[in-house]
Amino acid sequence: MLKLADARRIIAAAEKEAVKIGQPMNIAVVDEGANLIAHVRMDNAWIGSIDISINKAFTSRAFNISTKELAENSQPGDQFFGIHASNHDRVMIFAGGIPLKDKNGIVIGAIGVSGGGGAQDHQVAEAGAAAHTC
C-alpha cells in the first residue's frame, strides 16, 4: 500500500530529474484505487498539465500499463483504438504515466508526469518510479 511518505519520495525523485533536464513538471501519484495521494506543480510548470499528470497516473493504474505502451496500442487499427474516450475522457494515450508495483509485481499505484515532451515526461516518471521501493 502506498502512503503519503512513499508518494513524497517518488515525487522528490521525479522533481530532481525534471530539474536535471531543465523542464518544470506536474507530478502526480495515485494509490491502488487510482485515488490521488499527492501532486506537485513545479514552479513555471504548465497549468494545463495539472489534470493531464493526474489523468496519466489514473490511466496507468486503471489499465496497469504505462501510458507510453497504451499509446503504442491505441492507434487506428490497433486493439485499443478509441480507448481515450473511455472513463469520462480521463484516459491519456501519451507518455508520462507508469504503474508502481510492489515486490511481488502487483500494481499498487502509479505516477503521472506532464509538462514537457512525451520523452521528457516518461523520463521523469521513470525516475520517480525508480525511487519506489516496497
- Picking from 4, 3, 8, 15, the residue whose alpha carbon sits closest to that of residue 123 is 15
Helices in 3-117 by DSSP H: which ranges? 4-21, 49-63, 67-72
pLDDT score recorded for residue 74: 83
pLDDT score recorded for residue 95: 96
Which residues make Cβ contacts (< 8 Å) with residue 47, sequence separation at least 6?
41
Q: What are phi and psi of 49, to 5 degrees?
A: -90, -5
SS3 7: helix
Residue 116 C-alpha cell reads as 514537457
Q: Profile the chain (134 residues) by mean pLDDT over runs of 10 residues.
A: 96 98 98 97 97 97 94 82 80 94 94 97 97 74
pLDDT score recorded for residue 84: 81
How far apart CA 38 and CA 83 sit, in angstroms, is 26
How far apart CA 5 and CA 121 sit, in angstroms, is 22
DSSP state of 103: T
Q: What is the value of pTM for the model shown?
A: 0.94
Cα 45 to chain centroid distance, Å, stands at 15
Residue that the C-alpha cell 499509446 belongs to: 71
Q: Which fold has domain 4-130?
A: Beta-Lactamase (3.30.450)
- Residue 53 in contact with residue 96, Cβ under 8 Å? yes
